A and B are shown apart, each in its own frame.
Chain A
Amino acid sequence: MTISPRLREELLGSVRSLRAFAVSLCGQPDRADDLVQETLVKAWSNIDSFQEGTNLQAWLFTILRNHYYSEIRKRRREVEDTDGQYAARLATHPPQQGHLDLADFKAALRELPDDQREALILVGASGFSYEEAAGICDVAVGTIKSRVSRARSHLAKRLKIESDADIGPDSTAEAIFTTLKQRRA
C-alpha cells in the first residue's frame, strides 16, 4: 500500500477531531484514545479503499463510529452492564443553581440519547454538513436534521431551567421568606 504525503498529512490532521468525536461518543478519554488507535490501524490497512480527493475526515469518522457501535454490541452480548459502570457514567449531577458551566453542559449532553448527541456533535462541533453527517451515521438527511433539532430542544430546556433558577420564582420566594423571618425576629 502507498500513502501519498498529502494524504498522510490529512490523516495526522484528523487525529485531534477524531479524539474529540470519540470522547463525545463514549464519554471516557482512555476508551476514546483506544478507539482512535483502532480506527487509525483500520484506516491504514484499508487505505486502498479510500478514494483520494473525497472527504477523508468523514471516512475516518465513519470507521470510528462503526467500530464503536460494533464493540458496544459485542460487549452487550458478553456482559450485561458491568458493575453498573454504564449507569454510573450516565448519572447526572444534581442541577446547580445559577450559571450553567461547562461541566453542567457536559452532563446535559450525556443525558441525550446517543443518536441525538452524535448528530449534534457532528453538525454543531465537527463542522460536517447535514449530508455528510447522514453519510457517517448511515441514515437519511431528514433523520439527522430531526435528531439535531431534538437535541437542541432538550439542551435549550435544560439551559432555560438553569437560567430560570437565577431569576425565577424559587429564589424570589426564598428572598421574601427571608425578609419575613427577619422582620418577625
Chain B
Amino acid sequence: MAPELVGSHLPCSAPYHSLDILIMTNKDKGNGKSSAKRPALDPTIQAHIGRKLRAVYDEVAAAPVPDRIVELLSKLEESQTK
C-alpha cells in the first residue's frame, strides 16, 4: 500500500477530531469525570448482579411446572403415539 493512502479511509479527519474535542470539553465541564464511555464494572458489583439475576430466574425455573403445561405435554405425547 502506498504510504500516502494510509489514513485516507478517514475523510474529514480534522472536523471529526475537533468535534471529539468539543464533546470532551463539554463533558469535562459537566461533571469533571473521565471521558471513558463505559468503564469496566467493579467485579463485586458484577458478581452481585449475576447472583441477583440467577435468583430472579431460578425463582421461576425451580418452581414446579404448572398442571396445564404438564397436561399439554401428555396430550402432545398421546397425539404422537396415535
Interface, chain A (partner B; CB < 8 A): 1-3, 8, 12, 15-17, 19-20, 23-24, 29, 32-33, 36-37, 40-41, 44, 100, 102, 105-106, 109, 120-121, 124-126, 149-150, 152-153, 155-156, 159-160
Is A17 a contact of B69 with CB atoms below 8 Å? no
Please give, as numbers and ranges, the residues of chain B lying within 8 Å of A12 by CB-CB distance: 73
- Among residues of B, the one whose C-beta sits closest to the C-beta of A21 is B57
Interface size on B, residues (CB 8 A): 30
Interface, chain B (partner A; CB < 8 A): 38, 41-42, 45-46, 48-50, 52-63, 65-66, 68-69, 72-73, 76-77, 79-80
Is B55 a contact of A19 with CB atoms below 8 Å? no
Is B48 a contact of A159 with CB atoms below 8 Å? yes
Complex CA–CA separation, A109 to B77 (angstroms): 36
21 A-B contacts (beta carbon < 8 Å) = A15-B73, A16-B61, A16-B62, A20-B57, A20-B58, A20-B60, A20-B61, A24-B56, A33-B69, A40-B72, A40-B76, A41-B72, A100-B52, A102-B56, A105-B52, A105-B55, A106-B56, A152-B41, A153-B41, A155-B49, A160-B45
